[in-house]
Amino acid sequence: MKKLKVIGITLMLAISITGMAANFKMFRKKKKDSGTSTAKTVPATRKANPASVYCEKQGGKSIIVKGSKGEYGVCQLRDGTTVEEWEYYKQHNTPQSLESEIIKGTPNPAAKFCVDKGGQSVTVKDRKGNERGVCKFKNGTQIDEWDYYRQNN
């Protein structure tokens, strides 16, 4: 009986290993050698160098140069002049020249509550220059927005 269990377990392991090996071969991609191209292809998951992309958008040509400190990119402009890619990119893409994306979030809940209750949300500065929100009402009364919000919620 013991030998039968050992033979059964061994047989199941052998079948499992054979099945996994066959499955592995099925999912492996076959390499196709066209023999015509020696250029390396870039994997789809890699992102392009923004300096190289900018160079080409401006009508230039991106060239990789080997120097004593390694490889670096050079942008050959239409008129034939060459500029280091990142230097060219930085010269034309300063923070002022880039359009910043406006991020719209949720409003300040205390200010919204003030306006919903008929008040006017106003930002005031104290003597130290710190800003805080004040809720002003038509009858002339005013209260800190967050105090008003906490008292009524």
Q: Indicate if the pLDDT at residue 143 is higher than 80.
A: yes
Centre a 10 Å sphere on the Cβ of residue 49 and count the other Cβ atoms it contains.
Answer: 14
> In the structure encoding, which two tokens stand for residue 125, read together?
């500065």
* Count of structural domains within the chain: 2
Asked if 87 and 113 sit in the same domain, the reply is: no
121 and 147 in a common domain: yes
Domain assignment present for residue 121? The answer is yes
Residue 120 has pLDDT above 70, yes or no: yes
Under 8 Å between Cβ of 145 and 114: yes
User: Does some domain include residue 4?
Assistant: no
- Please state, in angstroms and rounded to a whole number, the distance separating the CA atoms of residues 99 and 90: 15
| Residue 79 falls inside a structural domain | yes
**CB-based contacts of 148, cutoff 8 Å, min separation 6:** 110, 113, 114, 117, 119, 135
Q: Indicate if the pLDDT at residue 147 is higher than 90.
A: yes
CA distance 116 to 111: 9
- Pick from 124, 127, 107, 126: nearest CA to 116: 107
pLDDT interval class at 3 (50, 70, 90) = confident
pLDDT for res 1: 75
Cβ-Cβ contacts under 8 Å for 54 (sequence gap 6 or more): 85, 88, 89, 92, 93
Q: How far apart are CA 131 and CA 125, in angstroms?
A: 4
- How much is the pTM? 0.35
Residue 39: CA count within 13 A, CB half-sphere: 4
Q: Over the stretch 13-67, which tens digit does the pLDDT of each residue have?
A: 778 787 777 666 555 655 555 454 444 555 556 778 889 999 999 999 999 999 8
In this model, does residue 137 exceed pLDDT 90?
yes
Range of the domain at 83: 50-92
Rounded CA-CA distance 3/152 in Å is 80
Q: Is residue 71 part of a domain?
A: yes
| CA terminus-to-terminus distance, the chain | 75
The answer to the question of residue 103 being in a domain is no
77-98 pLDDT per residue, tens = 999 899 999 888 888 887 655 4
- Classify residue 138: in a domain, yes or no: yes
